Amino acid sequence: MEPRSLHASLTPFDKVTATELDHWRALRETDSNYQSPFFAVEFAQAVHHSRLDVDVAIVRRRHDPIAFLPLHRKGKHAYPVGRFLNDAHQLIKAPDENLGLTWLVTKLGLTAFHFHALIGEPLDRLPAWTCQQQVRSFRCDIGDQPDEYLASLCSRHNTVRRQSQKTRKLAREVGPVTFEFDCRCHDNLRQAINLKREQYQRTHTLDLFATPWTVKLIESLFHRPTDSRGPRGILSTLFAGDQMVAAHFGLWEADRLHYWFPAYDPAFSKYSPGTALFVSILQQAGQHRVRCIDMGYGEQPYKRKQTDSTGVVSQGCVSPSLAYRVLNCGRNRAIQASKSLPMRQPLKRIGRTIWPSAGHSKLQ
Q: Let me know if residue 295 belongs to a domain.
A: no
One domain, residues 155 and 255: yes
Residue ending a domain, choose from 236, 255, 290: 290
CA distance 351 to 341: 14
Residue ending a domain, choose from 260, 290, 320: 290
Q: Let me know if residue 300 belongs to a domain.
A: no
Q: How far is CA 114 from CA 55, 79, 195, 281, 339, in A?
A: 15, 5, 30, 34, 20
**DSSP E strands, 75-130:** 77-80, 92-93, 112-118
Tens of pLDDT, residues 324-359? 999 998 888 787 777 676 755 565 555 545 555 556
CA 133 to chain centroid, in Å, comes to: 18
Q: CATH code at 253?
A: 3.40.630
One domain, residues 211 and 125: no
Cα R_g (the chain), whole angstroms: 21
- Name the nearest CA neighbour of 169 among 274, 281, 273: 273
Structure letter (DSSP) for residue 53: -
**Structural domain containing residue 103:** 6-137+312-353
One domain, residues 159 and 285: yes
∠ CA 1-121-255 to the nearest 5 degrees? 130
Q: Let me know if residue 296 belongs to a domain.
A: no
One domain, residues 132 and 148: no
Q: Let me know if residue 303 belongs to a domain.
A: no
**Can you give the pLDDT of all 364 residues of the chain as single tens digits?**
455 689 999 999 999 999 999 999 999 999 999 999 999 999 999 999 999 999 999 999 988 999 999 999 999 999 999 999 999 999 999 999 989 999 999 999 999 999 999 998 777 778 999 988 899 999 999 999 899 999 999 999 888 999 999 999 999 999 999 999 999 999 999 999 999 999 999 999 999 999 999 999 999 999 999 888 999 999 999 999 999 999 999 999 999 999 999 999 999 999 999 999 999 999 999 999 999 999 999 988 888 888 878 899 999 999 999 999 999 988 887 877 776 767 555 655 555 455 555 567 778 7
pTM: 0.92
One domain, residues 66 and 168: no
Q: Let me know if residue 306 belongs to a domain.
A: no
Q: 29: number of CA atoms within 13 Å, CB side?
A: 7
- Name the nearest CA neighbour of 57 among 39, 76, 44, 70: 70
Tens of pLDDT, residues 154-185? 999 888 999 999 999 999 999 999 999 999 99
- Helices 212-222 and 186-202: crossing angle, nearest 10°? 140
Q: Let me know if residue 364 belongs to a domain.
A: no
Q: Let me know if residue 101 belongs to a domain.
A: yes
One domain, residues 321 and 282: no
One domain, residues 254 and 342: no
One domain, residues 178 and 267: yes
> In one letter, which amino acid is 107?
K
> How much is the pLDDT for 1?
43
Tens of pLDDT, residues 177-198? 999 999 999 999 999 999 999 9
**DSSP E strands, 151-222:** 177-183
Q: Let me know if residue 187 belongs to a domain.
A: yes
Domain count, the chain: 2
* Three-class secondary structure of residue 41 per DSSP: helix
One domain, residues 330 and 282: no
One domain, residues 342 and 248: no
One domain, residues 284 and 324: no
One domain, residues 219 and 240: yes
Residue 323 phi/psi, 5-degree rounding, is: -60, -40
